[in-house]
Amino acid sequence: MKDILEAPFLIEMVRTAANMYSHGWDERNGGNISLRLDEADAAQHLDTSAAIRDIPTGFEAPELEGLCFLVTGAGKYFKNIPYDPARNLGIIRIVQGGNTARLLWGLSDGGSFTSELPAHLMSHAARLRADPRQRVVMHCHPSNLLAMTYVHDLDERAFTRTLWQMCTECVMVFPDGVNVLPWMLCGTNEIGRATADKMETARLVVWAQHGIYGAGADLDETFGLIETAEKAAEIYLKIAHLPLKATLSDSAIRQIAAHTGVTPREGWLE
Ligand code: 13P
Ligand code: ZN
């Protein structure tokens, strides 16, 4: 069996977490990631029939029965993931209809999966229904997007339009726009269900006064999605208080979309 620390999926997870930390998106234990693993890939690096311990999840996710996920641990600092992946990350298999996460590797100090597992797994189920290639759910606390939720209308269309107007690339990267949840208590099944509902129609879901969720086919794509939205929020906060001399018009955004072959969310452009 190959060394798990040399598994491409593990290396990429560690690098992504380190990159998120260095972008300032994951202070202390802020943020969490889950990556759906390919069974054959995982089997090259670990005994996938192993059961180190079973951890109850407190919710059901029958569509995910039997699937394996590499996840960050609850209370683990992203800063520390590169120094000790086996302590800060875990590989779980979803069993008993989603009620149980069977630990196959990691969380070596006896820890548990991220407290946001409901939002992650329910979002995986929603994204898998939308697109079977989707593998990643990522949550973090990027400063500009978070700040924007204090000063911008939280209407999803208005929020998305502002982001699309901030950088030419935005509509190409997230043509489906950004969905927004009002502040809710985190770490609960309720916010998990609400996030997953929002994930049915967009790959980015802002949690007002908290952070953002992104979903994608791989870690790079999902990181890039959040990175692009965060950049747009940064531009917004730089210009929102200044007299405007120019805007990116709806017609310009339509041209970008047509030129790059993406379809902006129906009805979100004038
Ligand atoms: P965890 O440490 O449990 O992953 O929680 C961090 C977080 O961002 C909660 O929303
Ligand atoms: Zn959070």
Nearest to 202 by CA among 164, 233, 149, 254: 164
Q: How far is the CA of 71 from the centre of ligand 2 (A)?
A: 14
Q: Which one of the ligands is nearest to 192 CA?
A: 1
Based on the domain organization, do 18 and 50 belong to the same domain? Answer: yes
Q: Give how far Cα 193 sits from Cα of 95, 184, 207, Å.
A: 19, 12, 13
Q: What is the DSSP string of 198-211?
A: HHTT-SEEEETTTE
Do 241 and 142 belong to one domain? yes
Is 34's C-beta closer than 6 angstroms to any atom of ligand 1?
no
Burial of 6 (0-12, 13-18, 19+ CB in 10 A): exposed
Atom of ligand 1 nearest to the CA of 74: 3
187 and 235 inside one domain = yes
Instruction: Determine if ligand 1 sits within 6 Å of the CB of residue 116.
Output: yes
Q: What is the CATH number of the domain that holds 42?
A: 3.40.225.10
* Helices and strands (DSSP H and E) totals, the chain: 10, 9
Distance in Å, CA 76 to ligand 1 centroid: 8
Active site residues: 116
Ligand positioned closest to the Cα atom of 111: 1
Which residues form the domain of 131? 116-270
Q: What total of structural domains would you count in the chain? A: 2
The tens digit of pLDDT for each residue in 178-219 reads 999 999 999 999 999 999 999 999 999 999 999 999 999 999
Which of 114, 132, 160 finishes a domain? Answer: 114
Q: Do 222 and 206 sit in the same domain of this protein?
A: yes
Is 262 found in the same domain as 161?
yes
Domain boundary among 84, 114, 144: 114
Answer whether 74 contacts ligand 1 (Cβ < 6 A).
yes
Residue ending a domain, among 60, 86, 114, is: 114
For the chain, 270 residues long, give each residue's pLDDT as a single digit of tens.
999 999 999 999 999 999 999 999 999 999 999 999 999 999 999 999 989 999 999 999 999 999 999 999 999 999 999 999 999 999 999 999 999 999 999 999 999 999 999 999 999 999 999 999 999 999 999 999 999 999 999 999 999 999 999 999 999 999 999 999 999 999 999 999 999 999 999 999 999 999 999 999 999 999 999 999 999 999 999 999 999 999 999 999 999 999 999 999 999 999
Ligand 1 in contact with 184 (CB < 6 A)?
A: no
Alpha carbon of 243 to ligand 2 centroid (Å): 34
User: Residue 1 burial (CB < 10 Å; 0-12/13-18/19+)?
Assistant: exposed
Nearest CA to 160 among 220, 219, 228? 228
d(CA 215, CA 35) in angstroms, rounded, equals 10
